[in-house]
Amino acid sequence: MADNSKPVYLKLRDIIAASILDGVYAEGDMLPSVRAFAAEQQANPLTVSKAYQMFQDQGLVEVQRGVGMYVAPGAVDKLRAMEREDFLQHVWPPVLRQMRRIGLSPAALLDEEKA
């Protein structure tokens, strides 16, 4: 389910983060240029720049002036830890509340996955 209230730059950040975590971009790989990613996502280049700047500020990418932006060493582990923390703080609590409302335990949910 998409979060329509989320700012575009955060949605773009999520796309990039998922691509890194899914191995589309490995550590050391060059990310698409701001213009290329903006065209691909039909977004404003300034908005893409803001998303990329977040990654730079978090130490997840390294910039080589005049060359491009690369996924930093250790970025996958750091990003995975950040995403895990976000999930546990923001995504899981309302899911757990909903599960409790409908009488579904985490164990029962895991049993459903195996079936």
Residue 1, pLDDT score: 45
Q: What is the pLDDT of residues 46-96, one digit of tens each?
A: 999 999 999 999 999 999 988 999 999 999 999 999 999 999 999 999 999
Residue 86 lies in a domain: yes
Residue 1 lies in a domain: no
Residue 2 lies in a domain: no
The pTM for the full model equals: 0.81
- What is the percent of the chain with per-residue pLDDT over 70, rounded to a whole number? 95
63-72 contact pairs (CB < 8 A, 24+): 67/30, 68/30, 68/31, 68/33, 69/30, 69/31, 70/28, 70/29, 70/30, 70/31, 71/20, 71/25, 71/26, 71/27, 71/28, 71/29, 71/31, 72/27
Residue range 26-55: average pLDDT? 96
Residue 76, pLDDT score: 97
**Count: domains in the chain:** 1
The parent domain of residue 39 ranges over 8-114
Say which CATH number the domain at 92 has. 1.10.10.10
